[in-house]
Amino acid sequence: MGILSNIFHKIFPSSHPAVATAPQGTTPPPAMPAGTAAAPAPAAAPAAALSEVDVEAILNAKAQQSGQPLNWRTSIVDLLKLLELDSSLQSRKELAQELHYSGDTNDSASMNVWLHRQVMTKLAQNGGKVPADLKD
């Protein structure tokens, strides 16, 4: 399970489709062998039918309960700490690789800003209600 998937599991309820399937932007499942008949895909539910998860409310509630000042709105490190996930540089480099970061991972300040915006954007793309100023 990737770091982004771990983030999704900490924010979305277990019944949410983002938790049940791989997040957008992750490696697709392997192709079926030649000659294998694929089962028909189930009808996709309209995007409007998905109930959005209020990411801001969830993270604000976690921040109040954390007992420490964590600025999840601007810091990927604080966001990961708030979610009780590994916030080490190595972990953030793994997340950057998972999200296809093309910049210099040794420039952690730039990478951290990019990671935060990408995580917020991925949350929004997968049914999270995220303030517009926090995503790309």
Q: What is the pLDDT of residues 68-119, one digit of tens each?
A: 999 999 999 999 999 999 999 999 999 999 999 999 999 999 999 999 999 9
Neighbours of 114 (CB within 10 A): 18
Whether residue 30 has pLDDT greater than 70: no
The pTM of the whole model exceeds 0.85: no
Rg over CA atoms, the chain: 16
In a domain, 126, yes or no: yes
Asked whether residue 4 is domain-assigned, the answer is: yes
Domain that holds residue 2: 1-11+51-132
CA 11 – CA 19 distance, rounded (Å): 9
Average pLDDT over residues 38-61: 65
Any domain includes 83: yes
pLDDT of residue 136: 78
Residue 122 lies in a domain: yes
Question: Is residue 76 one of the residues assigned to a domain?
Answer: yes
In what helix (H) or strand (E) does residue 54 lie, and over which residues does it extend? strand 53-54
Q: Look at residue 63 and tell me if it is in a domain.
A: yes
Predicted local distance difference test score (pLDDT) of residue 127: 92
Report the domain count for the chain.
Answer: 1
pLDDT of 35 over the 60 cut: no
pLDDT confidence of residue 28: 40
Could you give the CA distance from residue 14 to residue 125 in angstroms, rounded to a whole number? 17
